[in-house]
């Protein structure tokens, strides 16, 4: 399954790399992250709850993940991350 998620909190390529590495630490996930637009494309063997993805991102920094809404450009945040410094 391939899913796209919006990522907030990235401001540079170092952030993008941190987010990509954090997502790829989860078993069964192959993630690719872009900075502009701030999107993670995640291929997963089986369904992984977004809460688990957010948990990995919170450990990496002040990042949050949300499901991209296909009908418009707004999205709903699922979990607020723990505040940490970037870069």
Domain ranges of the chain: 2-70
Q: What is the pLDDT of residue 65?
A: 96
Burial class (CB in 10 A: 0-12, 13-18, 19+), 19: buried
More confident residue, 19 or 85: 19
Sequential DSSP letters for 29-45? EEEEEETTTTEEEEEES
Fold of 2-70: Alpha-Beta Plaits (3.30.70)
Helix/strand/coil for 26: coil
pLDDT for 22-51, tens place per residue? Answer: 999 999 999 999 999 999 999 999 999 999
| pTM for this entry | 0.79
Q: What is the pLDDT of residue 86?
A: 62
**Tokens linked to 71:** 């009908």
């Amino acid at each position: 399954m391939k899913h796209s998620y919006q990522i907030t909190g990235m401001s540079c390529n170092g952030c993008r790399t941190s987010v990509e590495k954090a997502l790829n630490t989860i078993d069964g996930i192959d993630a690719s992250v872009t900075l502009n637009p701030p999107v993670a494309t995640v291929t997963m063997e089986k369904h992984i709850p977004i809460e688990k993805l957010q948990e990995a991102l919170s450990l990496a920094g002040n990042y949050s993940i949300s499901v991209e809404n296909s009908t418009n450009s707004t999205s709903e945040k699922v979990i607020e991350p723990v505040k940490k410094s970037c870069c």
